[in-house]
A and B are shown apart, each in its own frame.
Chain A
């Protein structure tokens, strides 16, 4: 993927994308996102309760917990997708690169260009495959070679070989799993720093899901990935660190994935993981 030479901006990230960092021990990685005492309310209902956590570069961070525990809310707070919900109110800090993203001078549109998101249900635009991937480039006024970037992104999303002969056909003609990989290609095309994934495999069959899981592992080479899942095996398989949210929007435990799954501190977490509730 690094054979291209036309887009210096992306090039730097990809090449200095530091394989070293991915290989570095977990505790030696840099903080990318840090939340401090994050409270979120939907109207009168509290969805997150004092969540403070750090997310590290090139980590795959899994957020797990029962339905309604606030893990998706937390994810959508990071790139301010919650702004779309009028009754949603956020208190506390979400720092991204040392800057609170809820500061007045932060434009959520600019923020989302650095923190991409992939949704639960694949939602390709009713455009051609090429235009889907090029969408982010277009809206950001990308000046490099768009076709090349489309190819790179589709390759990075492990979709290129399947669609390279039908780039002009509609993204809606693809299968569910392909559509989701298209959405991932679309998200990485503008080269964000962080990719948020909101249960990206829950609408897919097991084969398609496992392809996405493999892909996530590759993506972590270049990006920081935060994934919400309620599939605990999935979290155990793909993540470096796992955060467990339990009812009431509280972050109960956050640690290395192996630690969480083998020897959690909290009894409730152990109960949840072993399937006693949730």
Chain B
């Protein structure tokens, strides 16, 4: 604050003002530094983990040169090329999502179904999906639509109940059929139906039927070929139906709707081709590869506490996926239902209004309860009250489900809150009931937000350890869970247990490698959530 000299002086930059400006700049620098310090420290620690897991130091320079030439440089060049052309960039993103999403989907489907027994999954799948489809078909032919909604729900539940009863008697005789037939029914048939319906909705019934039929025939052909060559028919059928078919469909759609970006579709194949070419060159010239712990053994074998190079976390990964998957089935409907009640149904005033406020406060408190305490709840509920065995999938899923319930509720509430009230008014004004408004207008708008929240909840659950320790989930099992009532372990538990092993090849080898796997899973989920949020978040 300058004094009352001449006005002209005051508008110039006095020394005092310049000092103030410097102070402001220093402050801003300090703020940036503070914002970055956490992120940078984490990146440094991630780098330590990755280096320990991958051990780039053990590779010969030639190895790096080969992959630089075949993998890194072409991919980087292609990405730079795509970046400046929006159409190409879109097609590139779509192709990446299809290829790697498809690969991941195939791997997870095969691993989970294989663990739970394809025959059992097939029986449950048929009994849970046929009745609702019959109800839907009946609904198409008649007019009384009021009963359809509840009937579908009931038919699924009854179907699962029937499956539980008949599973024993049927699975014996069913076992005569080859395993790949189960996968065909579980993966190829839905894929064919999906492709058929999607094609039919755009290009007419006949084309749809042809497309669906082509997918089914392709599945059969793949199975036949792999039986003839002695390959794993089940795995190839899954790969065909959950990777080749969706990738093919997406690529064709993209060529049709976004012809200008056609080149972008090559993106993932540049990457994969580069990796294959690199591997071939390394093999051909006998180049020394890194002595890494990120090997197929790690993700395909079971644990070995003595020899680090034999140790794998396949049962842990599949266990984590099954636990978290079943948790989603348990927790998401309840969480989303609770959020809908609080946002759309609960009044603001009167007795029920106060009840709703109580619920809100309660939920925000539950979100702050430490995760170990949920472990104690799980222990008391599943072990003592329900008498379940120690460390089985349902207990783990249930415990984690209770833990993430508040997260799901709060994020779904936010998603519902962001739907403009105008739309609700419009719908009510048309004579829609509350339920119809919800189903037709509010929920479709809230789906991206809800999806983001639920994926983040999954990411949180897959890393959760403390409650699983408390409910005494085993740290190591040597095969994935074979059912919901069989014992399982989870990846973070193995990391916890193995980090106590002071042998360097464990402490600075297998454990960071397992951590890389867990981090990859969790970062993939986070990235998916962020992509969905950015794509749909700002539209309204």
In the complex, A201 Cα to B166 Cα: how many Å?
64
Check A79 against B422 for contact (C-beta < 8 Å).
no
Q: Say how far B539's CB is from chain A's closest CB, in angstroms.
A: 8
Contact digits for B418-458, partner A, Cβ 8 Å, 1 yes 0 no: 00101101111111110010001100110000000000000
Contact B432 A139 (CB under 8 A): yes
CB-based contact A135/B429 at 8 Å: no
Check A113 for interface membership: any CB of B closer than 8 A.
Answer: yes
Q: Which residues between 74 and 123 of chain A lie within 8 Å of chain B, taking CB atoms?
A: 79, 81, 84, 86-87, 109-114, 116-119, 121, 123
Does A140 sit at the interface, judged by CB under 8 A?
Answer: yes
Taking the complex as formed, is B348 at the interface, i.e. its CB lies under 8 A from any CB of chain A?
Answer: yes
Q: Which residues of B contact A121 (CB under 8 A)?
A: 422
B143 within 8 A of A: yes
Evaluate contact between B425 and A84: CB separation under 8 angstroms.
Answer: yes
Question: Given A139-B431, A139-B436, A190-B431, A87 and B349 touching (CB < 8 A)?
Answer: yes
CA gap between A190 and B431 in the complex, in Å: 10
Q: Counting CB contacts under 8 A, is B347 at the interface? A: yes
Within 8 A of B (CB), among A108-150: 109-114, 116-119, 121, 123-126, 135-136, 138-141, 143
Is A135's CB under 8 angstroms from B430's CB? yes
- Name A190's contact: one of B349, B350, B430, B540 (CB within 8 Å): B430
Binary contact track A211-224/B, C-beta < 8 Å → 1, others 0: 00000000000000
Given A109-B433, A112-B428, 17 additional A-B pairs, CB 8 A: A86-B349, A109-B432, A116-B429, A116-B430, A117-B429, A118-B429, A119-B422, A119-B426, A123-B423, A126-B423, A126-B539, A135-B432, A136-B430, A136-B432, A139-B433, A186-B430, A190-B431
- Does B145 touch A at the CB level, under 8 Å? yes
Q: Are B440 and A187 in contact (CB under 8 A)?
A: no
Assembly CA distance A20 to B353 (angstroms): 51
The residues of B that contact A143 with a CB separation of less than 8 Å are: 143
Closest to A107 in B: B433
Q: Does A238 contact B (CB under 8 A)?
A: no
Q: Which 9 A-B pairs have the closest CB atoms?
A: A113-B431, A112-B431, A117-B429, A123-B422, A123-B426, A136-B430, A109-B433, A139-B432, A139-B436
| A159 on interface, CB distance cutoff 8 Å | no
B191 to chain A, nearest CB (A): 26
Contact sample, A vs B, 12 pairs, CB 8 Å cutoff: A79-B429, A109-B432, A111-B431, A123-B420, A123-B423, A125-B426, A125-B427, A126-B445, A135-B440, A139-B430, A139-B440, A140-B431
Residues A109 and B431 in contact, CB atoms below 8 Å apart:
yes
Nearest B residue (CB) for A172? B539
Tell me the bound Cα distance from A119 to B422 in angstroms: 9
In the assembled complex, the Cα of A90 lies from the Cα of B441 at a distance in Å of 28
Q: Name the residue on B nearest A131 (C-beta).
A: B440
Q: Assess the A187–B348 pair: CB atoms within 8 A.
A: no
A143 to B426, CA, bound (A): 22
Report whether B349 and A187 are in contact in the complex, using a CB–CB cutoff of 8 Å: no
Contact assessment for A81 and B429 in the assembled complex, using a CB-CB cutoff below 8 Å: yes
* Neighbouring A residues of B539 by C-beta, 8 Å: 126
Q: Does A183 count as interface, using CB distance less than 8 angstroms? A: yes
A79 contact set on B, CB distance < 8 A: 429
The CA-CA distance from A117 to B426 in the complex, in Å, is: 8
A92 to chain B, nearest CB (A): 22
Residue of A with least CB distance to B348: A86
B430 partner residues in chain A, CB cutoff 8 A: 112-113, 116, 135-136, 139, 186-187, 190
Question: Given A126-B445, A139-B436, A139-B440, do A84 and B422 touch, yes or no (CB 8 Å)?
Answer: no
On chain B, the residues within 8 Å of A183 by CB distance are 426
In the assembly, what is the distance between CA of A87 and CA of B350, in Å? 10
Binding site for A on B (CB under 8 A): 143, 145, 347-350, 353, 420, 422-423, 425-433, 436, 440-441, 444-445, 539-540
A88, B432: Cα distance in complex, Å: 21
CB contact between A81 and one of B425, B436, B440, B441 (< 8 Å): that residue: B425
Chain A residues, CB < 8 A from B432: 109, 135-136, 139
Chain A residues contacting B427 (CB-CB under 8 Å) are: 125, 135
Tell me which residues across on chain A come within 8 A of B426, comparing CB atoms.
119, 123-125, 183, 186
Q: Give chain B residues whose Cβ lies under 8 Å from the Cβ of A125.
A: 423, 426-427, 440-441
- CA–CA, A183 to B428, complex, Å? 13
Q: Nearest-CB distance from B437 to chain A (Å)?
A: 9
| Shortest Cβ gap from A204 to chain B (Å) | 16
- A84: chain B residues at CB < 8 Å are 425, 428
Q: Once bound together, how far apart are the Cα atoms of A113 and B432, in whole Å?
A: 8
Chain B nearest CB: distance from A147 CB in Å?
Answer: 16
Contacts of A87 in B (CB 8 A): 349
A190 and B440 alpha carbons, distance in the complex (Å): 16
Q: Is the CB of A187 within 8 A of B436?
A: no
B441 with A187: CB separation less than 8 A: no
For B425, the chain A residues whose CB sits under 8 A away are: 81, 84, 119, 123
Distance to closest chain A CB from B540 (angstroms)? 8
Complex CA distance for A141 and B440, rounded to whole angstroms: 13
Query: Nearest chain B CB to A195's CB is how many angstroms away?
Result: 10
Residues of B contacting A116 with CB < 8 Å? 429-431
Contacts of A186 in B (CB 8 A): 426, 430
The CA-CA distance from A113 to B420 in the complex, in Å, is 22
CB distance from A199 to the nearest CB of B (A): 14
A135 to B349, CA, bound (A): 31
B301 to chain A, nearest CB (A): 49
Nearest CB on A from B476, distance (A): 50
Q: Which residues from A are CB-within-8-Å of B422?
A: 119, 121, 123
* Docked-complex contact B423 and A86, CB < 8 angstroms: no
CB distance from B143 to the nearest CB of A (A): 7
Residue of A nearest to B424 (CB): A84
A135 to B441, CA, bound (A): 10
Q: How far is the CB of A57 from chain B (nearest CB, A)?
A: 20
Residues of the B chain whose Cβ atoms lie less than 8 Å from the Cβ of A86: 347-350, 353
Give a binary string over A41-84; 1 marks a CB under 8 Å from any B CB, 0 the rest: 00000000000000000000000000000000000000101001
Residue of B347, B420, B430 with most chain A CB atoms under a 10 A cut-off:
B430
In whole angstroms, what is the CA distance A136 to B436 when docked?
A: 10
B436 adjacent to A112 (CB under 8 Å): no
> How far is it, in angstroms, between the C-alpha of A208 and the C-alpha of B347 when the chains are bound?
38
Give A84's nearest chain B residue, CB to CB: B428
How many angstroms from the CA of A136 to the CA of B430 in the assembled complex?
A: 6
Question: Which residue of B is nearest A117, CB measured?
Answer: B429
Closest Cβ neighbor of B431 among chain A residues: A113
Alpha-carbon distance between A74 and B368 when the two chains are bound, in angstroms:
47
Least CB distance from A235 to B in Å reads 22
B434 and chain A: residue at smallest CB distance: A109
Of chain B, the residue at the smallest CB distance from A120 is B422
The distance in angstroms between the C-alpha atoms of A16 and B420, with both chains bound, is: 39
Query: In the complex, A238 Cα to B441 Cα: how many Å?
Result: 33
For B350, B429, B436, the residue with the greatest tally of chain A CB atoms inside 10 Å of its CB is: B429
Least Cβ distance of A112 to chain B in Å?
A: 4
- What's the least CB distance linking A45 to chain B, in Å? 15
Task: Kindly name the residue among B347, B427, B444 whose own CB sees the greatest number of chain A CB atoms within 10 A.
Answer: B427
A118–B429 CA distance with the chains assembled, in angstroms: 8
The distance from the CB of A75 to the nearest CB of chain B, in whole angstroms, is 11
Cα distance, A47 to B440, chains bound together (Å) = 33
| CB of A209 to closest CB in B, whole Å | 19
Chain A residues with Cβ under 8 A from B349's Cβ?
86-87
B423, A141: Cβ atoms closer than 8 Å: no
